[in-house]
């Protein structure tokens, strides 16, 4: 593992302009960067306060497998993303329309009692 210090990082990934903080950075087996708080620095946590070391990689079934639902950190991130902004309901939404008519070639009376599907030869709409 390759470890180094990254100065100038603070909480929520924003650059710190007044306080210099240090974070231990290591490279994982897949080549991804892992950052960990050192000393008295703040630790990355879930919404419930559980300390975690990484929220950028998801739990997989195997090396190239599917993402597992047991990955509660990924589910938490997706839930947070989905609920960030709930779009406003569109009152006058545009619809689509069809032009022409429907004519029944043979009765479907044994399947339904709908008038449009039982009267042979009638054109709908008239």
pLDDT tens string, the chain, 126 residues long: the values are 444 444 444 445 555 454 445 667 777 777 777 666 677 777 888 888 888 877 888 888 988 889 998 999 999 999 988 888 777 777 777 778 888 888 999 999 999 999 889 999 988 876
DSSP3 helix / strand / coil % (the chain, rounded to 5): 15, 20, 65
- The domain locations on the chain are 1-42, 44-85
Phi, psi at residue 75, to the nearest 5°?
Answer: -60, -40
**Strand order of the sheet with strand 3-7?**
3-7, 22-27, 33-37
pTM for the full model? 0.42
CA distance 119 to 103: 9
The DSSP-derived string for 79-97 is HHHHTT-PPPPPTT-----
Please, what CATH class does the domain formed by 44-85 belong to?
A: few secondary structures
CA distance 102 to 107: 13
């Amino acid at each position: 593992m390759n470890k180094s210090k990254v100065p100038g990082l603070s909480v929520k990934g924003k650059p710190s302009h007044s306080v210099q903080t240090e974070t231990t950075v290591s490279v994982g087996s897949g080549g991804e960067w892992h950052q960990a708080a050192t000393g008295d620095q703040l630790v990355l946590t879930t919404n419930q306060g559980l300390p975690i070391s990484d929220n950028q990689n998801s739990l997989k079934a195997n090396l190239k497998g599917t993402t597992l639902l047991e990955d509660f950190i990924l589910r938490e991130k997706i839930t947070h993303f989905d609920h960030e902004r709930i779009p406003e309901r569109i009152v006058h939404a545009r619809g689509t329309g069809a032009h022409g008519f429907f004519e029944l070639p043979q009765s479907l009376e044994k399947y339904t009692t709908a008038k449009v599907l039982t009267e042979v030869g009638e054109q709908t709409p008239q």
